[in-house]
Amino acid sequence: MFETKMKSFLKKVIAVVRKIPKGQALSYQEVARQAGSPRAARAVGNILHNCGGVKEGIPCHRVVKSNGQIGGYAHGTKKKTTLLKKEGALK
């Protein structure tokens, strides 16, 4: 049952992240809330770290910390910052 819940949450997280438009970003906490588990921000980070990213059609670079900091990124924070600036989410 736990595994089924995790797969369901994973699918919801990916769906939320895929809907984030270029030039915008959501916090890990907001993604968790929209996926139905508002206290699961850390789980969102773990999912996004292992999801395959942009090459899989998942713009995980558009998810940042709720305090406005960039947060982690599997390809490095410099790459994440570059992508966000290119899309207009950062100045």
Tell the burial category of 90 from Cβ atoms under 10 Å away from its Cβ (0-12, 13-18, 19+): middle
Based on the residue annotation, tell me whether 60 is a catalytic residue of this protein. yes
From the candidates 26, 58, 60, 64, give the one annotated as an active-site residue.
Answer: 60
Q: CA torsion angle for 84, 18, 50, 75 (degrees, to 10)?
A: -20
- The residues annotated with a catalytic role in the active site are 60
